[in-house]
């Protein structure tokens, strides 16, 4: 399953891009996405914050939520609005 993960703020800086393509097994969860992206960032020497979350279809996703091809998936670094 091919997923494009939207990246923002420190996560976008870590990859030098606003999105990252990852290949995951069917049935992969939001937590699998999170683990993969954090591992790829670490491989590039960037430590993303442990409190980084995943959103699916514009809402925060529970860790065990399954992700499907075609979902809008995003990595959400610690938010700092206000």
Partner 1 sequence: MTVPRIVRRPLDAAALLARVASPAHGATALFVGTVRGTNAGRAVTGLEYEAYEAMAEAELARIEAEVAAAHPDVALAVEHRLGALALGEASVIVAAAHAHRAPALDALRVTVEELKRRVPIWKREHYADGTREWVDPTAAGATAATGADGAAG
In the complex, which residues of this chain contact partner 1 (CB under 8 A)? 6, 8-10, 13, 49-51, 55, 58-60, 74, 76-82
**Torsion, Cα of 28, 57, 15, 49 (10° steps):** -80
Supply the minimum distance, in Å, between the C-beta of residue 25 and partner 1: 26
Distance in angstroms (rounded) separating the CA atoms of residues 33 and 62: 12
> Which of 9, 27 has the CB closer to partner 1?
9
Task: Name which of 8 and 36 has its Cβ closer to partner 1.
Answer: 8
């Amino acid at each position: 399953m091919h997923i494009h993960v939207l990246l923002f703020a420190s996560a976008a800086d870590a990859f030098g891009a606003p999105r990252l393509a990852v290949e995951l097994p069917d049935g992969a969860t939001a937590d699998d996405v999170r683990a993969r992206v954090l591992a790829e960032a670490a491989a590039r020497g960037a430590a993303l914050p442990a409190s980084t979350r995943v959103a699916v279809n514009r809402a925060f996703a529970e860790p065990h939520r399954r992700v499907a091809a075609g979902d809008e998936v995003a990595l959400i670094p610690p938010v700092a609005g206000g």
